[in-house]
Structure 1
Amino acid sequence: MHINDHNPLPSYLPAADRYDQMKYRNCGKSGLKLPEISLGLWHNFGHNADLTLGRKILRRAFDLGICHFDLANNYGPPFGSAEENFGRILQKDFLPYRDELLISSKAGWDMWPGPYGNFGSRKYLIASCDQSLKRMGLDYVDVFYHHRPDPNTPMEETMGALDQLVRQGKALYVGISQYNAEDTAKAYGILKSLGTPLLIHQPRYSMLDRWVENGLMDILGEKGVGSIAFSPLEQGMLTDKYLKGIPADSRAAKDGRYLNAGKLAPEKLEMVSRLNDIALERGQTLAQMAIAWLLKDPRITSVLVGVSKPEQLDDNVTAIKNTEFSIEEASQIKTILGA
């Protein structure tokens, strides 16, 4: 990642009306509010990206009232580079506004070689959090997540490590990601017994990937745990990008790990096209409707978006202006989705 030294960005003064642009929701039964749209740094902040563009994206996000920036130890590429670059931008632009920001990170996926650089042991989670803090130049993160379930580590150990991070002052709150309903209820109970509440769950959730509706959302609502949905646009499928096939410059064409031809099968594209027709009738882009569809559920605290240019943030944030669906619209959408 490089800075364009010949055309440096001017010093940053955030928009005075930034909090008027966004709506905020309480995270479960906690006192913490999240913006309805949050920014994820999974893509476009590694060392292979343009730091000047990254700064523009973060600045535009904050100007729109997006005060939650979501990272993980292995975001890049290479692993750790998104946190490093975020730390550089934080020092340049956002340090005076640290207390206005909600910064999260995670550990749970492969990070470094050997038996202690993956999954959910106390050794891995605490070491990883320490590394993340150093990379970002922070004393603490606002939320620290266990990034995925670990079937081989007792959950008491993993949740105990999260509790320890809070007691050490390295995280203000803790969360989990991609846990199923049963394991979420168990994690909630363990953390409650330790005196550190489970603040939030970060599941993959979109109109085309609705696994959370099979019990998880009910558990979160019942326990008063917040939720923040990632991949709400299904890696670009729920946008107008693929309505006429796969563009040569798209991520699907360049990198099949995230979105491949199988996911872009003709029947899926037909489904997306029909959803797009409803979005247009609502006066929304397909991406806006996909975000609004998630936000219509009050148990969803925030929707996590990733963008490659600042203008996409404006499009995403416009979704919060209309999150109501008529009975007819909801029925049409459920028919298309096969719900």
Structure 2
Amino acid sequence: MYTASEKRYDTMVYNRCGNSGLKLPAVSLGFWHNFGDNCLYSNMKDLCFTAFDNGITHFDLANNYGPEPGSAEKNFGKILNQEMKAYRDEMIISTKAGYEMWPGPYGCRNGSRKYLLASLDQSLQRMGLDYVDIFYHHCLDPETPLEETMGALATAVQSGKALYVGVSNYDGENLKKACKILTELKCPFVINQNRYSIFDRTIENNGLKQTALELKKGIIAFSPLAQGLLTNRYLNGIPSDSRAAKDSRFLKQSAITDEKIAKIKALSKIAEQRGQTLAETALAWVLKDGAVASVLIGASKPSQILDNIKAIQNTSFSVEELEAIDKISLD
């Protein structure tokens, strides 16, 4: 049975999620990769233990994380119930539903009440939980009225199966609409999950970041390292054991052009001048202005978690640094 480090809260930073009472660690652990049916169970345990021992209290999942849909939740549930159950009340556990999950019209990508509530029940069963801390709608569904989707999230809270709700992959306009509905339903909507990195400024361009600030809702950023591009892994091309080489579902080799590598090298020089690795600087950049409460990292080995946590030691940037990063990444 796992025993957590007594020093687990000594160095982690915890940020308030919007204007809610919920605090998230500045660095959270995502289960999108490396926790599915194709991964080594002992390594999954080591990743969870290392994260928690270092103050990462938030574990982020979704119904379809795998590759086999549901397998990440099953594996996490096994680790939680066999090793970490004593610490459940110290954890924020989140899951999502929205993408295709099972055959037929009720498990395909959608935002229907039928799908969301059935999926939540399945997720709870896979993880062996009575409730999750955050339940998200994973992606906007233009074919389902937003009132229905938000109503399902409210029901999840009213039934005691979720404490808070969030939306993922929404833009500013739909965030505003969703927030209005959930406010009327008196549902504790606290967070948006979106892709955000030095290389991906979508939430700056589609109004999500500014709208979240105006509405005082939290943001958690996934892919802050651009699927590994914003690390030292690709400074000299594509390593044979890299994600781009082994799993093209998420990072295609065609995306790693000479121009992209030149940008990565230029950003790495800025990081070096800051006394950080490129990954540390990339994570710190996402956290720099307080709009993002937490960055979601993925890891294939415990040492990567320890390395990434170092980013919180310096999240301040000079005007000159920010201008240089923008010039490199946006040109």
Instruction: Name the CA distance, whole Å, in 1 between partners of 2:189 and 2:21.
Output: 13
- SS for the counterpart of 1:229 is strand
| CA deviations over 1:28-72 (Å, ceiling 9, x no partner) | 000000000000011111111111000000000000000000000
**2:117 is matched with which residue?**
126
- Counterpart of 1:253 (choices 245, 250, 271) is 245
Instruction: Name the CA distance, whole Å, in 2 between partners of 1:100 and 1:72.
Output: 20
| CA deviations over 1:68-122 (Å, ceiling 9, x no partner) | 0000001112110100010100012210010000000000000000000031100
Instruction: Name the CA distance, whole Å, in 1 between partners of 2:208 and 2:68.
Output: 32
| CA deviations over 1:263-318 (Å, ceiling 9, x no partner) | 10111111111000100111111000000000002110100000000000111100
**2:287 is matched with which residue?**
295
Q: Is 1:230–2:222 an aligned residue pair?
A: yes
- Counterpart of 2:132 (choices 137, 141, 160) is 141
Q: Is 1:191–2:182 an aligned residue pair?
A: yes
| Identical amino acids, percent of aligned pairs | 57
- SS for the counterpart of 2:255 is coil
Instruction: Name the CA distance, whole Å, in 2 between partners of 1:245 and 1:268.
Output: 10
Q: What number of residue pairs does the alignment pair up?
A: 329
- SS for the counterpart of 2:308 is helix
Q: Is 1:321–2:313 an aligned residue pair?
A: yes
**2:263 is matched with which residue?**
271
Instruction: Name the CA distance, whole Å, in 2 between partners of 1:85 and 1:334.
Output: 40
The alpha-carbon deviation at position 197 of structure 1 amounts to: 3.1
For 1:47, give the aligned amino acid: D
Instruction: Name the CA distance, whole Å, in 1 between partners of 2:242 and 2:325.
Output: 26
Q: Is 1:71–2:57 an aligned residue pair?
A: no
**2:162 is matched with which residue?**
171
Instruction: Name the CA distance, whole Å, in 2 between partners of 1:255 and 1:55.
Output: 22
The alpha-carbon deviation at position 331 of structure 1 amounts to: 1.6
| CA deviations over 1:231-289 (Å, ceiling 9, x no partner) | 00011100000110001111101222211123101111111110001001111110000
Instruction: Name the CA distance, whole Å, in 2 between partners of 1:333 and 1:165.
Output: 42
- SS for the counterpart of 1:298 is coil
| CA deviations over 1:125-183 (Å, ceiling 9, x no partner) | 00000000000000000000000000100000000000000000000000000101100
Instruction: Name the CA distance, whole Å, in 1 between partners of 2:80 and 2:11.
Output: 22
**2:197 is matched with which residue?**
206
List gaps (5 residues or longer) in structure 1: 1-10
Instruction: Name the CA distance, whole Å, in 2 between partners of 1:172 and 1:256.
Output: 36
- SS for the counterpart of 1:38 is strand
Instruction: Name the CA distance, whole Å, in 2 between partners of 1:47 and 1:178.
Output: 25
After superposing on structure 2, the runs of 4+ consecutive aligned residues of structure 1 that deviate more than 4 Å are: none
Instruction: Name the CA distance, whole Å, in 2 between partners of 1:194 and 1:165.
Output: 12
TM-score by length of 1: 0.96
- Counterpart of 1:41 (choices 11, 28, 31) is 31
| CA deviations over 1:158-217 (Å, ceiling 9, x no partner) | 000000000000000000001011000000001001110321000011100001112211
